[in-house]
């Protein structure tokens, strides 16, 4: 089986769903954010603060493109992986891209209690979240082969739905 890439906003459940899907399909899991943290020895928020978003995106792209189509893995991507056209093209060429669509209210419920979200370190984080969603949603939709709405669903339920769509 080719790679499966889960894309979507921060808080859409990419990592937890990827874990479930990986187990369900008996495929390895590759978490791009975790790999980036391991490579840099720092948490995502620290990377953004110390090295900036450009360095982060460059490194994210280099990690993503290390894995060809025959890797046969489930990928938990970062929310901004779709910003770069080369990443969108790579994922579409190397596997099936699934957009985990989540509405603003559910996203806000999930991320508002967390720390370590550098893009939400803003005067009005909910407004910033909405702005990011509005910018990225067309990119997610354009990149995805399939879409699963995650509102009110557990990662396991989302993984089962993805498995059905892949058949």
Q: What is the extent of the structural domain holding 112?
A: 3-166
Phi, psi at residue 95, to the nearest 5°?
A: 175, -160
Residue 122 banded pLDDT, cuts 50, 70, 90: low
- Residues 7-45: tens digit of each pLDDT: 999 899 999 999 999 999 999 999 999 999 998 899 988
User: In this structure, what CATH number is given to the domain that contains residue 28?
Assistant: 3.40.50.300
Spatial strand order in the sheet of 74-76: 29-31, 74-76, 3-7, 95-101, 146-149
Domain count within the chain: 1
- Residues 70-84: tens digit of each pLDDT: 999 999 999 999 999
Phi, psi at residue 154, to the nearest 5°?
A: -80, 160
**For tokens 């699963």, what's the residue?**
148
Could you write out the DSSP letters of every residue in 28-49? -EEEHHHHHHHHHTS-HHHHHH
Beta bridge partners of 76: 6, 31
- Residues 86-107: tens digit of each pLDDT: 999 999 999 999 999 999 889 8
């Amino acid at each position: 089986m080719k790679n499966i890439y889960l894309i979507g906003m921060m808080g859409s459940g990419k990592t937890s769903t990827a874990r479930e899907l990986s187990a369900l399909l008996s495929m390895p899991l590759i978490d791009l954010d975790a790999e980036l943290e391991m490579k840099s020895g720092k948490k995502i928020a620290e990377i953004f603060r110390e090295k900036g978003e450009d360095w982060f995106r460059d490194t994210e792209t280099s990690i993503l493109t290390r894995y060809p189509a025959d890797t046969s893995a489930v990928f938990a991507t970062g929310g901004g992986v779709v910003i770069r056209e080369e990443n969108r093209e790579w994922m579409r060429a190397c596997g099936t891209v699934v957009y985990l669509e989540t509405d603003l209210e559910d996203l806000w419920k999930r991320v508002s209690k967390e720390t370590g979200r550098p893009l939400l370190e803003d005067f009005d984080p909910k407004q910033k979240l909405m702005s990011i969603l509005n910018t990225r949603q067309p990119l997610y939709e354009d990149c995805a082969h399939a879409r699963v709405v995650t509102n009110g669903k557990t990662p396991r339920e989302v993984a089962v739905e993805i498995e059905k769509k892949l058949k």
